[in-house]
Amino acid sequence: MRILVTGGCGFIGSGFLRYALAQEGVERVVNLDSLTYSGRLENVSELEGDARFRHVTGDITDAALVSKLMEEEDPTHVVNFAAESHVDRSLFAARCFVSTNIDGTLCLLEATRARQEATGKELRFLQISTDEVYGDLETDDGFFVETMPLDPRNPYSATKAGADLLALAFAKTHKLWLVVTRSSNNYGPRQFPEKLIPLMITNALEGKQLPVYGDGKNVRDWLWVDDNCAGVWAALVNGKPGEAYNLGGASERPNIDVVKGILAALDKPESLITYVKDRPGHDRRYAIDFSKAKRDLGFEPNMTFEDGLAKTVAWYRDNAEWWTALKGGSFADYYKEHYGKLGLKGD
């Protein structure tokens, strides 16, 4: 197998790079990443000594570069992790989400189609997506299933839904081997500190306020990042072309319970919690039915949320040098501006 991965310097993508290089039969893994604010070369530094690994800095919207890599590396598989992924950012800066998530996906699909036609060999494509494309369950029961209509509620999920539909259309129109994975909220070490769990952990470690939207009772399903990577691999190897697969963690939790669990793990007071104005279009509940992936791929999450959260808290506590640099500069400016709009001081 020769795999072209995009967005591999991000949180989930870097986990997949490590996972893929540990599998038998993998001859080559090439990572294309534009190294935006959340893509960190240090996330893949441990792989630089592996002769099978190559990193290329570049944008997935660069058609010439993507085509060049297709020719140079002759991949058998393409896995597209590259995405703008933070809902909060999408509310105020939607254009870059359209560019990367839709235009970038189109560029990769076009290059895959052209390469397959040029070589006459099947080229497998896996599109990484999210449970947020389904919208809001709006009830305390029920689960997202793959046959549900997509109903995104914010620019991030709308662009991911658009990319899903574009990819699945290419699969039908151009006879591409293509599958989509839609995972619930990932968590674990090395996640950029704008996301809920690392933001709460790092703020608590710094003695700062922990901003919780609304009443804190929005529910999310949590999936350990390595379990997601295992599911993505299973879909890449054993998936049925033209299908989407939900990957869930069987770990639904209200956000406020997650935040309180973090404070308890760090022996910090709940007085650090500050409730702020809810963000626009904040979906109330996500919950994944992953029975299709379990049946067809053998997927099942192995990490319990309690154990995974403990491991995550310990990693951020023991690796302060990794995240303190990230929370300075542009992220500090964003944090101050964004949460200022919601009634919270950004310092």
For every residue of 230-244, DSSP letters joined together read HHHHHHHHHPPTT-E
Let me know if residue 261 belongs to a domain: no
Give the span between the Cα atoms of 65 and 173, in whole angstroms: 24
Let me know if residue 196 belongs to a domain: no
Let me know if residue 203 belongs to a domain: no
Let me know if residue 218 belongs to a domain: no
Contact 198, 11 (CB under 8 A): no
Could you tell me the pLDDT band of residue 25, with boundaries at 50, 70 and 90? Answer: very high
* Selected catalytic residue, list 33, 88, 131, 252: 131
- pLDDT, tens only, 187-204: 999 999 989 999 999 999
**CATH code of residue 8:** 3.40.50.720
* Selected catalytic residue, list 134, 156, 187, 316: 156
Give the pLDDT score at 345.
39
Let me know if residue 96 belongs to a domain: yes
Give the pLDDT score at 340.
55
Give the span between the Cα atoms of 196 and 323, in whole angstroms: 14
Let me know if residue 43 belongs to a domain: yes
* Selected catalytic residue, list 33, 59, 132, 243: 132
**Which residues constitute the domain of residue 59?**
2-188+223-247
- pLDDT, tens only, 119-161: 999 999 999 999 999 999 978 889 999 999 999 999 999 999 9
CA 339 to chain centroid: 23
Is residue 131 part of the annotated active site? The answer reads: yes
Let me know if residue 49 belongs to a domain: yes
Q: What are the distances in angstroms from CA 45 to CA 27, 55, 79, 279?
A: 19, 10, 20, 36
Contact 128, 244 (CB under 8 A): no
Strand order in the sheet with 185-187: 185-187, 219-224, 252-254
Is residue 156 part of the annotated active site? The answer reads: yes
Q: The whole model's pTM is what?
A: 0.93
Q: Is the dihedral of CA 241, 104, 8, 221 positive or negative?
A: negative
φ and ψ of 250, to 5 deg: 55, 40
Q: Give the number of domains in the chain.
A: 1
Give the pLDDT score at 139.
80
Let me know if residue 76 belongs to a domain: yes
More confident residue, 346 or 300: 300
